[in-house]
Structure 1
Amino acid sequence: MGKQENKDFSRWKGIGLALAGASLWGFSGNAAEWIFSHSAVTATWLVSVRMVMAGALLLILVSSHHNIFEVWKNKRDRIDLIIFSLTGMLGAQLTFFLSIEAGNAPTATLLQFLGPVFITIYFALKFLKWPKRKEWIAVIMALSGTFLLLTNGSLDEITVSKEAIFWGVLSGVSVAVYTVYPVRLLKLYASATIVGWAMLLGGFSVSIFTQPWQAGYIDWTLSLFWMLSFVVVFGTLLPFYLYLDSLKYITSTETSLLGSAEPLVATIVSVVWLGTAFGSFQTAGGMLIILTVFLLSMPEKGLVKVGGTVNK
């Protein structure tokens, strides 16, 4: 196999890994929706268990390659990690699942994709710099897509609850915080270490209030057990590793664009498996939001690059 063939194979391998990770995240949101509708499990309970278990497993796996305790030796790094854990990581996780609980997985996933728009607005305010034409177009596309997604083209036809909209939009804001805040830490430590600790700390903090060990009110069934296992392993741990592995073969921009497969998979699975009704205007709105991510990810000289974590 020649050099070009090796290069092509590596590229397609990276694309496959990124698509597989995004698809698993899409399935995961629907699995969470199934759990909420078929059991007494709440979003806060699921988030606490999911984050603690996934964070612990991630740290165990990465400990063979990195010193996972190194980040705790520096005071500034400790403080930044704790802030990121409670605002970025926990904020993004909790608001996303609360939106699913109040609405449905496709809507929550698409609203979370508004994150890049909030990042654009943040940097425009931070640097007091008027957004570029491309960024204005992206914001207008995102707002138009959100309107169509939530109303199906008519203000008289609000398709999801106000609570789902509130948590979904807040999820987009949390994704912006999650993406921007830990940039300094990610330059110093392995991303798996930072995400692992952030999941563990965020999960423990919400566990104080949810007390997941007191789960006597939950009617445990084999189906529920497997769904919970899927959300933790195949909806959190495995896609994160697939995402990281894909970065060895393709660029972060390409990986983020391929992440747009997540809402597409979430919508298809929701319609086929859960019987969620999706109108034509809602579908168009979802596509506009996804196209916004593509537009903002297009390289342009002078743009500020942020991010490096995986939000799921």
Structure 2
Amino acid sequence: MNAYVMKGMLLIALGAVLWGFSGMCSQFVQQQRMMSAEWVVAMRLVIAGVITVVAAFYQGRASIFKVFSDWKDTLRLVIFGVLGMWMCQYTYFKAIAYAGAGIATVLQYVGPALIILYISITRLTLPRVAEVVSVVLATVGTAIIALQGVWDISALDDTLLTWGMLSAVAVGIYTLQPVPLLKKYGTAPIVGFGMLIGGAFAWIVTQPSSEGIVWDLWTYGGFWSIIIFGTVVSFNAYLEGVRRVGAVTGSILSSIEPISAAVLAWLLLGNEFTQWDIIGMTLIIVTIFILAWDKGRAINKS
């Protein structure tokens, strides 16, 4: 496997690990410091968007605004910001509110399967065997970690399924839809403007309030960890990785997120590390080797 693809896979893994860390911080500020999901989502998108755009401007100056010279690309950017960036996070948080992070995570990770299905239909080709096997292993591994062997589907009512499937669809959108823009204009400008658009939309639609938030040193630490590590670094790393290795591989590798969340909760919060965590992690890690082998084989053939 060449260094370009390997770097892409490592960037996706980094993004997924940081999402796991961000999830732990998000749980803390929501449950312990009374931040609403609407406020967290809106603030993280706007602030992270500003930081990313400023960094992109420092590197590329006026060239970062080229996307707005083409109205079709501008429309694609708006779709990415609203239906990708914002909807992915908001629907996930809503699913958590109805049934907890476990089932919400499982429903969100239907996304890779939807991506493979979409690509197969649009390109009129069958998916690669390695991709199908990897999706199945990653989905089962995620379910095992998230549900801890408690296969209770009583919480799967219509409302939860709606939010959960919308979350999965949003994963597909923000993984697939911006790829042409990323290749044409670069990662940072598209991610940064996408965040700003999604954040502005969030403020208009949800009208979040900071009333009732308990501010102290731990609150600021958790909040800025979500902004910097869980949004700026993670989304830029993940989408740059997708630009390099493709949407299917990227979406499957993102299943590293529940591994990082379980390990970090064990290290930092003292949560129990169970046999279910080990089994689920093993299945997900196996998918990494399968994808690496498949990518290497495809490169050697070409």
**TM-score above 0.5, yes or no:** yes
C-alpha offsets along residues 5-26 of structure 1, whole Å, 9 cap, x if unaligned?
Answer: xx99x99999987765543332
CA distance in 2, matches of 1:19, 1:135: 17
CA 1:184–1:22: 2 relative to 1, 3 Å? closer
The one-letter code sitting in structure 1 at the alignment partner of 2:120 is A
Unaligned 5+ segments in structure 2 are none
CA 1:205–1:294: 2 relative to 1, 3 Å? farther
Structure 1 residue 107 displacement after superposition? 6.5
The residue number in structure 2 matching 1:219 is 214
The one-letter code sitting in structure 1 at the alignment partner of 2:257 is E
- The DSSP-based 3-state class of the residue aligned with 1:40 is coil
- The DSSP-based 3-state class of the residue aligned with 1:69 is helix
CA 1:294–1:103: 2 relative to 1, 3 Å? farther
Q: Does 1:172 align with 2:168?
A: yes
Structure 1 residue 96 displacement after superposition? 3.3
Contact in 2 for aligned 1:106/1:270 (Cα 8 Å): no
CA 1:26–1:147: 2 relative to 1, 3 Å? closer
Structure 1 residue 219 displacement after superposition? 2.9
Following superposition of structure 1 onto structure 2, how do residues 68-83 of structure 1 map, counting pairs within 5 Å? Answer: 68-83=64-79
The one-letter code sitting in structure 2 at the alignment partner of 1:268 is V
RMSD in angstroms over aligned alpha carbons? 4.0
Contact in 1 for aligned 2:73/2:181 (Cα 8 Å): yes
The one-letter code sitting in structure 2 at the alignment partner of 1:76 is K
CA distance in 2, matches of 1:158, 1:133: 29
Contact in 1 for aligned 2:255/2:284 (Cα 8 Å): no
How many residue pairs get aligned? The number is 290
Question: Is the deviation greater in 178-187 or in 276-285?
Answer: 276-285
Unaligned 5+ segments in structure 1 are 1-6, 303-312
- Alignment counterpart, residue 50 of structure 2, candidates 48, 56, 64: 56
Contact in 2 for aligned 1:152/1:159 (Cα 8 Å): no
CA distance in 1, matches of 2:12, 2:69: 33
TM-score (norm 1): 0.74
Structure 1 residue 51 displacement after superposition? 0.1
Following superposition of structure 1 onto structure 2, how do residues 123-134 of structure 1 map, counting pairs within 5 Å? Answer: 123-134=119-130
The one-letter code sitting in structure 1 at the alignment partner of 2:20 is G
CA distance in 2, matches of 1:268, 1:123: 33
CA distance in 2, matches of 1:117, 1:106: 18
Q: Does 1:237 align with 2:197?
A: no
Structure 1 residue 52 displacement after superposition? 0.4
